[in-house]
Amino acid sequence: MNIGVSRSVRFGLGVGIPILMVAGGVPAAVASPQPSTAPSAQVTSARTSAAERRLVDRVKTPKVSWHRITGKRAYLGTASVPLDYNHPNGRQVTLALAKVPATAPSKKIGTLFLNPGGPGGSGVDLALNANRLLSREVLSRFDIVGFDPRGTNGSDPVRCFATDRSAAPVLEALRGFPVGKSERKRFLAAARKLADGCSHYGRRLASAMSTTEVARDMELLRRSVGDAKLSYLGFSYGSYLGEMYANLYPDRFRAIAIDGVVDPAAWRGSRAKAAVPTSLRLKSAEGSWKALSKALELCRAAGPEHCPLADPTSTLRSVMASLRKAPLQTPTGTVSYADLVNALLGTLYFQTGGPEQAVALLGSVQDALKGDAVAATASSHLLKKLEHRRASLAARYDNAVDASSAVLCSDTAEPRLPSVWQPQITQRAKTAPYFAEGWGWIDVQCARKYWTAADEDRYRGSFSRHTAPVLIVGNYQDPATAYTAAVSTHRRMPNSWLLSSDSWGHTAYRTSQCVTGQVDAYLLDGTKPAEAVCQGDYVPFSTPLSAEAPRTSMSVAAASAMGPRR
């Protein structure tokens, strides 16, 4: 919601999201998690509406053309779906797919569809890496299928600029987030050019990329693989796709598990809430600040044998204050305030080792600011990574920004004027320092005065229909899709289970056997989670500084959800 944060870390949500916590504090919902209410077997599931049946059921089931990848037990494919479901025989959009067949076909349940988030993450890439993400049992019982949503990656791409040359200065100006009046002026001008390009040159596809359309595409693909009902696992922004499908087709799925959850009402918004940008409405900044604050507190509490900084929180404040005044000069260039905010956010995505990496980064920059040449060289390692990304973006126009923007701006209610963003970001920075800026600017191109590529099929229905049972997974320390979004979504969806995880990083799957096993049991057999709360395997700052530092690790899904980057 996938989301896809800051443009140079990921659009992320995948974007994703909610609540402020006092530094190092634990929210009431975490201290005493509410037991998940079991979906009632007596509740009669809602049915797909007559209007939706008329719209989608009349479309001919697409035939997927599969081609085996040489030397691999996997296939790539394409399928054609209507650009506009109101005109099913009109222009078509080609979708890219990947399939990894079940390893025990005689025991196969059906097909498990995957989405990594973004919006705009590649379902094809996630499926092809499924052996790194999913358990052996899930791989044995399901064909694994991922598809690139319309307009993204290998599917017919949305393009908001005619040439690489015209796109490059806009994408460069939108890198990171603006600090100060002059940067803000340049940034807003570029955001307007992006909005104009998507609303004119790229309008035909950009105005048909809401999550409603993607859910309809997935419904056609379910039919194309021959499954009577959908099985789905979605991460980050992919949770919104799962929520959308569940409420559009409440009687057409057997299992929908969503991890790293976006509150659908906050994502979509309303006329009453449109005065607040989606980027702030989702409260991703608060989630990021809570995770970093807790990491710094745990480091200090661990003591000098485990924590390299005497006062990590004080170090954060002093380093950020210095960089805001002037960038750090390193042997390979400069590290700016925005660079460090984005880098810290990136460390918090790791399911193992992220807090240690964040503290080490702060210490390195602090020493470099004091004139330590060795530390300056170490800090320049960050810059090299950033410069490599900038060079790759300048070398090719891969439409990631166009695609993520087209989905976000199609789905969400936004303020009319871009001038609304700055004062609201400034206000939010009081409760979510640093990250309010990193998250707050990701959707300014959606200001309604300039973004006019509206999708008339944007979903306006309820997210509280009595669907078949849905499994919702929330991670206490998720920096992008905060735990409170999982709680509010669980309360919103009356036939759902909530599985909580006291773990780190973006999304909870693979942080413990407790989480992974219960998600798998639900996907395989529809089993209700046996435990309401799981404890993550990773414990920050438990390794002495004299020992080898813990290695960072990130699930394939979480890495993919960092995807379309700016």
The CATH number for 559's domain is 3.40.50.1820
Give whole-number Cα distances, 195 to 11, 170, 296, 417, in Å.
16, 11, 39, 12
Q: Residue 560 and residue 114: Cα distance in Å, rounded?
A: 11
Handedness of CA 346, 351, 356, 359 (dihedral sign): positive
DSSP letters along 296-334, please?
Answer: HHHHHHH-TTT-S-S-HHHHHHHHHHHHHHSPEEETTEE
Range of the domain at 247: 1-566
Residue corresponding to tokens 């296939």: 75
| pLDDT for the residue numbered 13 | 39
Give whole-number Cα distances, 300 to 116, 293, 517, in Å.
34, 11, 33
Angle between helices 284-302 and 312-325 (to 10 degrees): 130
Q: What angle do CA 395, 149, 452 make, to 5 degrees?
A: 80
Longest dimension (CA), the chain: 69
Q: In a 10 Å sphere around its CB, with 0-12 CB exposed, 13-18 middle and 19+ buried, how is residue 152 labelled?
A: buried
Give 328's strand partners.
Answer: 335
Mean pLDDT estimate for the chain: 88
Q: Tell me the pairing of strands 92-100 and 142-148.
A: antiparallel
Give 553's strand partners.
Answer: 352
| pLDDT for the residue numbered 559 | 67
DSSP letters along 518-554, please?
Answer: HHHHHHHH-PPPS-SEEE-S--TT-S-TTSPPPPPB-
Give 335's strand partners.
Answer: 328
CA atoms within 13 A on the CB side of 39: 27
Give the three-class secondary structure for 111.
strand
CA atoms within 13 A on the CB side of 34: 14
| pLDDT for the residue numbered 124 | 97
Q: Contact 364/317 with Cβ under 8 angstroms?
A: no
Total structural domains within the chain:
1
- Alpha helices, DSSP H only, in 418-474? 421-428, 435-440
State pLDDT tens for residues 90-138: 999 999 999 999 999 999 999 999 999 999 999 999 999 999 999 999 9
Low-confidence ranges of the chain (pLDDT < 50): 1-42, 386, 389-390, 392-395, 563-566
State pLDDT tens for residues 502-534: 999 999 999 999 999 999 999 999 999 998 999
State pLDDT tens for residues 415-467: 999 999 999 999 999 999 999 999 999 999 999 999 999 999 999 999 999 99
State pLDDT tens for residues 279-306: 999 999 999 999 999 999 999 999 999 9
Distance of CA 152 to the CA centre of its chain: 15
Q: In a 10 Å sphere around its CB, with 0-12 CB exposed, 13-18 middle and 19+ buried, how is residue 456 labelled?
A: exposed
| pLDDT for the residue numbered 9 | 36
Distance of CA 75 to the CA centre of its chain: 26
Give whole-number Cα distances, 39 to 172, 293, 467, 490, 529, in Å.
48, 35, 9, 11, 11
- CA-closest candidate to residue 473, choices 481, 463, 464: 481
Q: In a 10 Å sphere around its CB, with 0-12 CB exposed, 13-18 middle and 19+ buried, how is residue 270 labelled?
A: exposed
